[in-house]
Structure 1
Amino acid sequence: MSDSPRQALGQAAEGWALTHLEEHGLRLLARNWRCRLGELDLVMLDGDTVVFVEVRYRRHNAWGGAEASVDARKRARVSAAAQVFLQQQPRWARRPCRFDVVAIGPAERASPPRLNWIRSAFDA
C-alpha cells in the first residue's frame, strides 16, 4: 500500500528536519516511534540530553503556521508518549530530556522550505 501525498510530504518534512538536526550534531535514536498513547516523530540525542522532536509542516501560514499547530493537546500527547518511551528504554530514562519542535513552512519560490528549530519548545 502506497502512502498518500500528505503522508509522503510528512515523511519528507521529517527527513528535512532529521538532516538539519544531524548537521547540528544530534544523533538519531528513533523515528516514528509509536505506542498506544501517541507517536514520537524523532527521538534524538544532543550530547547527553534525550530530545523528543515534533515535526510540523504547513503549506500555508494561515492560522499561525506550523509553530501554532503544536497546541496544548498535542504537547500532552507527545509528553505521554515520551514517558512510555523512557519506560521502555531504561538506558535513556536517567538522562535529561527536552521537547523541541521543528516547524517547516512554505518555501519561497525555488528555495528550500523554511525550517524553524525551536529548542525547549514545551517550556514556554
Structure 2
Amino acid sequence: MPEAAVGGDDRGRLGRWAEDLAAAYLESRGYRVLARNLRTPEGELDIVARKGEVLALVEVRARRGGAVGSAAESIGPRKRQRLLRAAAAYLQEADPTLQPRLDVLLVELSPRGRLLRLEHIEGAVEG
C-alpha cells in the first residue's frame, strides 16, 4: 500500500494527499471527477464526481494513527450541516436530471503514514 508523503502533523499536506488518493480511487471505480475543492457560498466540497446519472458530492476525511477518533467520527453535527448547505448551494446550479448523493471517503493511515483503510461510503450524509 502507498505511504503518505507527509511528515509530522502537517494536516494540510495530509488532506491534499488524501484528496489526491480519493480522486484516483473514484476514477478507478468509473467516476469522472468534475471538480475538486469546489467553493460555494456555504462551504467547500472536496470532490464532485459523476458516474452515470449519479452526481457524487464527496467529503474526504483523513486520519493518521494516534488521532482521536476515526475519520468517520470526525464528521460531527456542525460539519454535517455545513456539508448539507454547501451541497444545496452547488445543486442549485447543477444538472437537475442527475441524482445527487453526499458521500464520505475515509482514508486512515498508520502513525508512520502507511495506508490502512480506504472506504467509500455512498450516501453517508443525508439531510
> Above 0.5 in TM-score?
yes
Q: Which has the higher helix share?
A: 1
Please give the TM-score of this superposition, normalised by the length of structure 1: 0.83
Q: State the partner residue of 1:52.
A: 57
Query: Which consecutive unaligned segments of at least 5 residues does structure 2 have?
Result: 1-8
Q: Aligned letter for 1:115?
A: L
Q: Deviations over 1:89-122 (max 9, x none)?
A: 3xx2331111110111114878534211111112
How many residues align? The count is 119
CA distance in 2, matches of 1:54, 1:61: 21
Q: State the partner residue of 1:84.
A: 89
User: Do structure 1's residue 117 and structure 2's residue 120 form an aligned pair?
Assistant: yes
Higher relative contact order (CA 8 A, sep 6+): 2
RMSD of aligned alpha carbons: 2.3
* Structure 1 moving runs of 4+ over 6 Å: none
2:22 counterpart SS class: helix
User: Do structure 1's residue 11 and structure 2's residue 28 form an aligned pair?
Assistant: no
CA distance in 1, matches of 2:41, 2:31: 27
CA contact (8 A) 1:107 1:114 kept: no
Identity of aligned residues (%): 39
Q: State the partner residue of 1:103.
A: 106
Please give the TM-score of this superposition, normalised by the length of structure 2: 0.82
